[in-house]
């Protein structure tokens, strides 16, 4: 029996309708939600992501600004542009599109964004609040994953959860959000011994390692919820970190790539921008 497909596109579309209503209500109160994105250089993948964000904003009614800085801009010039957006009361969300050119300090740029405008949820203040269980702006991808798990009816209370990947963007915040839901969480990474033995115990398995089709069927517990955060390109086609075709025969729930976590990440960015506008 094949797994239930958790369709991120469908969830994102339903969310967009509710978000459009919230945006309309804010506009009637005289607040025009606004998201500003800073991109450095002409990275083709970044350009695609930024266009997706612009389209999502337009669909909901959020004003969007895209600031493209030259490839050779300095850290000081990048910070100056962030400072200007921080000071602009008409801008509610500020996002620095990653990756930046290698010579620029990504962490410094993320810290430069005011915590209350940090719709990516990457600022150290927001990360610290998440750690302590204080309401904060949450990183978009883990927030979207949790939304999908809950709405798909995956039992979380008391579940064994395994997160493969320990990045600040996905792995670490994902583990904290699952802990909040009373899961027993194991975080695995490139130095983990006997990875398959650990993943086979998981009721909830989140793969965020950036290795195409790395999670195979023999690594998955029958009936588990498998969330594929990976986006890889193999022979010109997108695929995730999970061997979808085979794993779906073992799992109870599974997300596809594309059409799974990706749309939900953008949906949660819209959600965070609206939350920032409400607070402002």
**Any idea which residues carry the catalytic annotation?**
53, 97, 120
Token pair in block for residue 114: 């005011």
Q: 224: Cβ–Cβ under 8 A, 6 or more apart, which residues?
A: 202, 203, 204, 205, 250, 251, 252, 253
Q: Is the previous residue joined to 199 through a cis bond, with omega within 30 degrees of 0?
A: no
Q: Which two tokens stand for residue 98?
A: 């990653």
Alpha carbon distance 249, 178 (integer Å): 25
CB neighbours of residue 150 within 10 Å: 11
Tokens 């749309």, residue located:
263
Q: Note if the bond before 258 is cis, omega within 30 degrees.
A: yes
Rounded to whole angstroms, the Cα distance separating 239 from 211 reads: 10
- For residues 58 and 19, the answer to whether their CB atoms sit within 8 Å is no
Residues 80 and 261: their CA atoms lie apart, in Å, by 33
Please check whether residue 273 is in contact with residue 62, taking contact to mean a CB–CB distance below 8 angstroms. Answer: yes
DSSP 238: E
Nearest CA among 248, 267, 266, 270 for reference residue 6: 248
Q: Is 5 helix (H, G, I), strand (E, B) or coil?
A: strand
Alpha-carbon distances of 146 from 30, 140, 181, rounded to whole Å: 32, 10, 9
């Amino acid at each position: 029996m094949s797994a239930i497909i958790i369709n991120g596109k469908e969830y994102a579309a339903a969310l967009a309708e509710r978000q459009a209503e919230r945006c309309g209500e804010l506009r009637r109160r005289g607040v025009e939600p606004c998201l500003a994105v800073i991109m450095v250089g002409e990275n083709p993948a970044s350009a695609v992501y930024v266009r997706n964000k612009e389209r999502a904003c337009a669909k909901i009614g959020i004003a969007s600004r895209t600031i493209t800085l030259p490839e050779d801009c300095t850290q000081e010039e990048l910070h100056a542009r962030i400072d200007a957006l921080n000071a602009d009361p008409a801008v509610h969300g500020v996002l620095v599109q990653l990756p930046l050119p290698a010579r620029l300090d990504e962490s410094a740029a993320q810290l430069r964004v005011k915590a209350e405008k940090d719709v990516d949820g990457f600022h150290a203040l927001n990360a610290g609040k998440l750690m302590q269980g204080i309401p904060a702006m949450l990183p978009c991808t883990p927030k979207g994953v949790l939304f999908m798990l809950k709405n798909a009816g995956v039992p979380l209370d008391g579940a064994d959860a395994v997160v493969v990947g320990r990045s600040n963007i996905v792995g670490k915040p994902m583990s904290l959000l699952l802990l909040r839901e009373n899961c027993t969480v194991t975080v695995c990474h490139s130095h983990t011994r006997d990875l398959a033995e650990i993943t086979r115990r998981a009721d909830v398995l989140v793969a965020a390692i950036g290795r195409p089709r790395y999670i195979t069927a023999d690594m998955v517990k029958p009936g588990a919820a498998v969330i594929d955060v990976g986006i890889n390109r193999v022979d010109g086609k997108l695929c995730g970190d999970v061997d979808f075709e085979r794993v779906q025969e073992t799992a109870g729930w599974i997300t596809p790539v594309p059409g799974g976590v990706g749309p939900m990440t953008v949906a949660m960015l819209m959600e965070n921008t609206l939350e920032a506008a409400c607070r402002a």
